[in-house]
Structure 1
Amino acid sequence: MPHGQELQPLPAPWQRRDERILPLWWDRLCSVTSPQSAALYAAGLFTDDRRRPIAQWYNPETDAALLVAPETSPEWPVQRFGIFYAPPGGGFTRVYSAPHEWHPREPRTPPTEQDSFLAAVAEAARFLQVEMDFV
């Protein structure tokens, strides 16, 4: 995102909740796949709440959520942030977007982990803006 370009405020009632991954994610993922497959999805992201940074939004009025989190195994040479969406009423989907990747073996070479994370968060916020037009 270019410097000086401000994101529009998120639509109400979306609330940012970054402290821990919401249990809603596990429930939603298991509703569309088996618990065994869910445990392996996105390198175990939804079974082991240890991978950071994350950005997460929750809409209590519709029981919907959006998550930005690392989705690749820590040992992979290229790391990537994924955007995941739990729509109102049930379900789970990965939001396909630009690749938000970085190379941990070259931590100072752009894009860095922070660059990739901020780009994924900005794209997730744009997704929420568009999604609210359809809800």
Structure 2
Amino acid sequence: MSSRQDRPQIPATWQRCDTRILPLWWDRTCAQMGEQSATLYAAGLFTEDRRRPIAQWFNPAFRAALLVAPETSPEWPVQRFGIFYAPPEEGFVRIHSAPHEWNPRQPRTSPTEQEAFQAAIAEAERFLQVEMDFV
């Protein structure tokens, strides 16, 4: 696992805000899929303040966001963190990345939930670095 010092520097325009899922996610999901489909997407990811942990960045200048959150239903045997990107202005996409999974039935077996979460955060931070080259 990489240390904080090994991680890329996050561009200053991106603010970390992990307290609650931004309303932007619900708005964009509804606009893209319709409210009924949005409610079901990724086990209800954007319809409620989900179980933790989450990591989230927001760029108010571009009205863009990046989210790392559990995307599988709690009853699934293998859990997974997804990385979601809301580009400037409209829409959202799931970032295809390495699987950031853990098995809740074996909480001490690697990768643990914390290890999977930290790996997803590191990948999201790398994405922000690359994305800023194109924005």
Which TM bucket (shorter chain)?
over 0.9
8 Å CA contact 1:45–1:51 kept in 2: the answer is no
CA distance in 1, matches of 2:10, 2:4: 18
Query: Gapped runs of 5+ residues in structure 1?
Result: none
2:69 counterpart residue number: 69
CA distance in 2, matches of 1:49, 1:2: 28
Q: Residues 69-113 of structure 1, C-alpha deviation per residue, up to 9 Å, x if partnerless?
A: 000000000000000000002111000000000000000000000
Cα distance change, pair 95–4 in 1 and its aligned pair in 2 (3 A): closer
Runs (4+) off by over 3 Å: 1-5
Equivalent residue letter for 2:27: D
**1:116 aligned to 2:116?**
yes
2:98 counterpart residue number: 98
Structure 2 residue matching 1:85: 3-state secondary structure: strand
Structure 1 residue matching 2:133: 3-state secondary structure: helix
Q: State the number of aligned residues.
A: 135
Query: Gapped runs of 5+ residues in structure 2?
Result: none
Equivalent residue letter for 1:68: V
* Higher mean C-alpha deviation, range 19-28 or range 3-12: 3-12
**1:45 aligned to 2:11?**
no
1:7 counterpart residue number: 7
Equivalent residue letter for 1:118: Q
**Aligned Cα root-mean-square deviation (Å):** 1.1
